[in-house]
Amino acid sequence: MTTTRDIARAAVRNRLARVAVELFRREGFDKVTGGEVAAAAGVSRSTFLRYFRTKEEAVLSAFETNCDAAASTLRARPADEEEWAVLRHAMGAFLQPYYEDKEDSLALARLINDSAALRARRLEMMFHWRNVLADILAERAGRPEGAAVRFLVLTAAALDCLNVAVEQWTASGGQQGLTAILDQAFAALTPRRGGAG
């Protein structure tokens, strides 16, 4: 059950993240300290650290619920649906925030692309996503013998398709259709019938 205190904490956390991202965009991620973010938000450094352990976490908190949305999508798909098609639907769940606020999403994507520290932390996050989603695929299949590697590889490939789509969309300044790029990426890895290579 969500309490008033939980709601208040979430509001403070969201505000701190917004202030942090805005400051990082203006000044550069590597040039701004956690203490400077705290000062800009009007709180102490210890308060900032109570909500975020690192600057990277403050930026990437925008993606925290993405995996939950993708996991829910995976679980809701028909049991007999082909794995790659199921994963395409799951990756679509990751795109929702990009449609809700295109300009903020573009700015955030550019900020991440410009920072080695943020890119590395995002890879850690995606490693976690891969494991969560692969486990759900295995559950859907009744965990057949030796399936773990197959599902990890499929999920890793799907997440790479997502990354490529977001990278291309960001490079185009949001002019290309994000869903269309993701469809192209998935089509590139869709097994062809009849043995074509």
Residues 25-81: pLDDT tens digits?
A: 999 999 999 899 999 999 999 999 999 999 999 999 988 888 999 999 999 999 999
User: Exposure of 94 by Cβ count < 10 A (0-12 exposed, 13-18 middle, 19+ buried)?
Assistant: buried
CATH for 65-190? 1.10.357.10
Domain residue ranges of the chain, discontinuous segments joined by +: 4-59, 65-190
The answer to whether the CB of 90 falls within 8 A of the CB of 158 is yes
Question: Of 17, 179, 182, 162, nearest to 99 (Cα)?
Answer: 179
Q: How far apart are CA 118 and CA 57, in angstroms?
A: 9
The answer to whether the CB of 181 falls within 8 A of the CB of 163 is no
pTM for this prediction: 0.86
What's the distance, CA 42 to chain centroid? 28
Let me know how many helices (H) and strands (E) the chain has, helices first: 10, 0
- What's residue 110's pLDDT? 94
N-term to C-term CA, the chain: 52
Residues 156-167: pLDDT tens digits?
A: 999 999 999 999
Residues 168-191: pLDDT tens digits?
A: 999 999 999 999 999 999 999 987
CATH for 4-59? 1.10.10.60
The answer to whether the CB of 130 falls within 8 A of the CB of 155 is yes
Quote the tokens at residue 92.
């679509």
